Amino acid sequence: MDLPALYDPAGRYGRWNVTALVCYAFGVAIQIPFLAQKLYTGPVTELLGGADISWIVGLAATAALYYPWAKRTSNPP
């Protein structure tokens, strides 16, 4: 276990996990058409009769993007 690398910005883990941050932003953006809120109701939600499935779509899409990308770019200890 490489504990010092967790606290070293120039270490193995770096400063930011760009893969995770991009996937997070993608997950938030892809949920928008599926939202059912007071301020905004997405077009897909209206087609579904008002069902808010944004969390399911966001989870599935983010996982489908993150897993193969992280598997290819990660540097585990």
Residue 40 is part of which domain span? 16-73
| Residue 15: per-residue pLDDT | 84
In this structure, is residue 48 part of a structural domain? yes
- Tell me which residue has tokens 């760009």: 18
Question: What pLDDT is stored for residue 26 in this prediction?
Answer: 97
Number of structural domains, the chain? 1
Q: What is the pLDDT of residue 6?
A: 84
50: in domain: yes
Handedness of CA 44, 46, 49, 52 (dihedral sign): positive
Closest CA to 62 of 32, 28, 36, 37: 28
Total Cβ atoms within 10 A of residue 54: 21
* pLDDT given for residue 77 in this prediction: 60
The rounded distance, in Å, linking the Cα atoms of 62 and 25 is 9
Q: Which residue numbers in the chain have pLDDT < 50?
A: none
Helix 54-73 to helix 18-31 angle (10° resolution) is 160
